[in-house]
Chains A and B, each alone.
Chain A
């Protein structure tokens, strides 16, 4: 049993989100800092897409009644267990009756993640449209479709058998007052005055307090349109920078509307989503344009860090050929891992050193 003595600010259950339903107008949702979220789960021996708690600025006070593994990642909100400061980004073991609390915002990010072995569950925790993520405006998912309140009680599932703990992430990210955010131009760069992209990449923008899980609203020099701010409503992506009529950019995040009618000047790269999730109101950011190849390289580096961590505790898939264990790598020399599985059947190319053979592989639970 996990008692939420104090809920903290906007503490919600989140997982990887509910992709697949945007065509019905349902936002993607999910942990804003996807890297921190996945890392937290790996550190407690969970499959990566296991529900965690996301808190903003002030973490919750949580009392545990079992001996379990926990991990805290993302923003440093000053975690301690029974009054003793504890490390972030590593496996922690808590004993029955111990209490986790947070001192609050320390200047290093705003969103902290708490994972526990087995994940958060129990009565009131709903999987809706394939996801446990809480979508507060729609009042569904997570715990009764809402942020946690003081006195709520959650439960934990069963942790990974054989998990021995003792993991920590090398070189964990930290977040500051002046973040550099990398972007790719478009999709509608041609709907802006030529000066606009120059303004965006040379000026500094301030993160306003009017930012939430839907979007990060910025204050700074106005970005001018050529023929007005409206387009026929089209799709949005995480990190897209839309510019309404007032010329002030808004970076759209996980709870964004699935469609929108404002021009979009540029899009933040996937590898910088964590930075977006951790932007402090009042801090300033600058933008730098990079190209697709560089963006994918940066993403690959981030993936490598998580794969290295999950490998330590054996979460990669095991393939056997005639009973012999083999490593299976994808086109990018990544070891194929559990989190890669979105489909249940794959065409696997097996090379015997002379020629390639294609084998269809069906994967079941």
Chain B
């Protein structure tokens, strides 16, 4: 333990006395991220003493623990021991959450500019964006904001030169190789191509976030503003349930 990232996996980098960063790789890849989620599932099942919480990100995760109950060395040994025990985990645990999305018009004010920048028709952009299942690598930035990977390179585009002071809640956006949904209204520089009427994050719900790390998101285009408004009203009353596959 020298406090440095190492080049073999799993790598261990203690973050103080009560947190351990476990490194599964050093790039943004769905395989590495899947490994992160799988190992976390295994650890949660193991029910080790003193574990407070485990926080996944792209290629690593942080275990917060009580070092009086469980030693740092002991924890590292335990993670090493279960590292290869996640075989065939993926198939049984994957959820795909379908997010209804109205593309374009006032819900997606940047859809036209994306179409111009990519030399694709508006319909093609929508088609490309909605046909991929995006892995939720992690949630962060603000409560419930999903970091999604897997955006088709045909619709990669730069961020806005001037970020918006306020991006409406539910906005579906793209920036470079990333796509995401703004769970609450916040400032932002991504290009807005649509908006979902479902409430992605509600602190008072029993499951505050619709998606959790390791899930997949699929954006399902809505046909009309009426459909959007209908779901919006149902969501406000807590009566709309997203489809999960």
Please give the residue numbers on chain A whose beta carbons come within 8 Å of chain B beta carbons, in ascending order: 19-27, 126, 128-129, 138, 140-141, 183-191, 232-240, 257-259, 264, 266-270, 292, 295-296, 299-300, 303, 330-332, 334, 340, 342-343
B100 contacts the other chain (CB 8 A): no
B130 contacts the other chain (CB 8 A): no
Q: List 10 A-B contacts (CB under 8 A).
A: A23-B55, A24-B139, A25-B143, A187-B21, A234-B21, A235-B21, A235-B62, A267-B15, A270-B18, A292-B14
A270-B17, A332-B68 known; A234 vs B208 contact (CB < 8 Å): no
Which residues from 37 to 83 on chain B have a C-beta closer than 8 Å to any C-beta of chain A?
47, 49, 52-62, 64, 67-69, 71-72
Asked if B58 and A235 sit within 8 Å, CB to CB, the answer is no
Asked if B209 and A187 sit within 8 Å, CB to CB, the answer is no
Which of B1-9, B218-226, B233-241 forms part of the interface with chain A? B1-9
Kindly name the residue among B1, B5, B58, B203 whose own CB sees the greatest number of chain A CB atoms within 10 A.
B203
- Please, which residue of chain B has its CB at the minimum distance from the CB of A296? B67
- Give the residues in chain B near A266, CB-CB below 8 Å: 3
Kindly name the residue among A238, A259, A264 whose own CB sees the greatest number of chain B CB atoms within 10 A.
A259
A23-B53, A23-B55, A258-B55 known; A184 vs B21 contact (CB < 8 Å): no
Interchain nearest-CB distance for A190 vs B (Å): 4
What class of interface size applies to chain B in its complex with A?
A: 35 or more
Measured in the bound complex, the distance between the Cα atoms of B53 and A303 in whole Å is 20
Number of A-B residue pairs at CB separation under 8 A: 166
Asked if B140 and A239 sit within 8 Å, CB to CB, the answer is no
Measured in the bound complex, the distance between the Cα atoms of B56 and A185 in whole Å is 22
Interchain nearest-CB distance for A299 vs B (Å): 6
Interchain nearest-CB distance for A335 vs B (Å): 13
Measured in the bound complex, the distance between the Cα atoms of B239 and A327 in whole Å is 52
Kindly name the residue among A128, A188, A233, A332 whose own CB sees the greatest number of chain B CB atoms within 10 A.
A233
- Give the residues in chain B near A126, CB-CB below 8 Å: 204
- Please, which residue of chain A has its CB at the minimum distance from the CB of B52? A19
Measured in the bound complex, the distance between the Cα atoms of B15 and A25 in whole Å is 19
Interchain nearest-CB distance for B53 vs A (Å): 5
- Give the residues in chain B near A188, CB-CB below 8 Å: 4-5, 13
Asked if A257 and B19 sit within 8 Å, CB to CB, the answer is no
Measured in the bound complex, the distance between the Cα atoms of B64 and A303 in whole Å is 18
- Give the residues in chain B near A334, CB-CB below 8 Å: 68
Asked if A299 and B17 sit within 8 Å, CB to CB, the answer is yes
B28 contacts the other chain (CB 8 A): yes
- Please, which residue of chain B has its CB at the minimum distance from the CB of A265? B3
- Give the residues in chain A near B197, CB-CB below 8 Å: none
3 nearest A-B pairs in the assembled complex, by CB-CB distance: A186-B3, A235-B62, A267-B16
Interchain nearest-CB distance for A278 vs B (Å): 18
- Please, which residue of chain A has its CB at the minimum distance from the CB of B186? A137
A185-B3, A190-B5 known; A237 vs B64 contact (CB < 8 Å): yes
A269's partner among B16, B69, B141, B204 (CB-CB below 8 A) is: B16
A128-B204, A188-B5, A232-B27 known; A24 vs B143 contact (CB < 8 Å): yes
B114 contacts the other chain (CB 8 A): no
Please give 12 more A-B residue pairs, beta carbons under 8 A apart, in addition to A23-B138, A232-B27.
A20-B52, A21-B208, A126-B204, A138-B142, A140-B203, A188-B4, A189-B3, A234-B57, A234-B60, A240-B19, A267-B16, A268-B16
A189's partner among B2, B62, B68, B142 (CB-CB below 8 A) is: B2
A292's partner among B1, B5, B27, B55 (CB-CB below 8 A) is: B1
Interchain nearest-CB distance for A298 vs B (Å): 9
Interchain nearest-CB distance for A129 vs B (Å): 6
Interchain nearest-CB distance for B135 vs A (Å): 15
B213 contacts the other chain (CB 8 A): yes
Asked if A138 and B53 sit within 8 Å, CB to CB, the answer is no
- Please, which residue of chain B has its CB at the minimum distance from the CB of A232? B58
B16's partner among A140, A141, A232, A240 (CB-CB below 8 A) is: A240
B147 contacts the other chain (CB 8 A): yes
Asked if A292 and B17 sit within 8 Å, CB to CB, the answer is yes
- Give the residues in chain A near B28, CB-CB below 8 Å: 232
- Give the residues in chain B near A21, CB-CB below 8 Å: 208
- Please, which residue of chain B has its CB at the minimum distance from the CB of A145? B203
- Give the residues in chain B near A303, CB-CB below 8 Å: 68
- Give the residues in chain B near A264, CB-CB below 8 Å: 15
- Give the residues in chain A near B14, CB-CB below 8 Å: 184, 186-187, 267, 292
Asked if B58 and A299 sit within 8 Å, CB to CB, the answer is no
B212 contacts the other chain (CB 8 A): yes
- Give the residues in chain A near B143, CB-CB below 8 Å: 24-27, 138
- Give the residues in chain A near B201, CB-CB below 8 Å: 24
- What 1/0 flags go to B165-208 for Cβ under 8 Å of A? 00000000000000000000000000000000000010110001
Measured in the bound complex, the distance between the Cα atoms of B2 and A257 in whole Å is 26
B47's partner among A191, A236, A343 (CB-CB below 8 A) is: A343
Kindly name the residue among A126, A138, A187, A236 whose own CB sees the greatest number of chain B CB atoms within 10 A.
A187
Measured in the bound complex, the distance between the Cα atoms of B68 and A334 in whole Å is 10
B103 contacts the other chain (CB 8 A): no
Asked if A25 and B72 sit within 8 Å, CB to CB, the answer is no
A23-B212, A25-B142, A232-B26 known; A299 vs B16 contact (CB < 8 Å): no
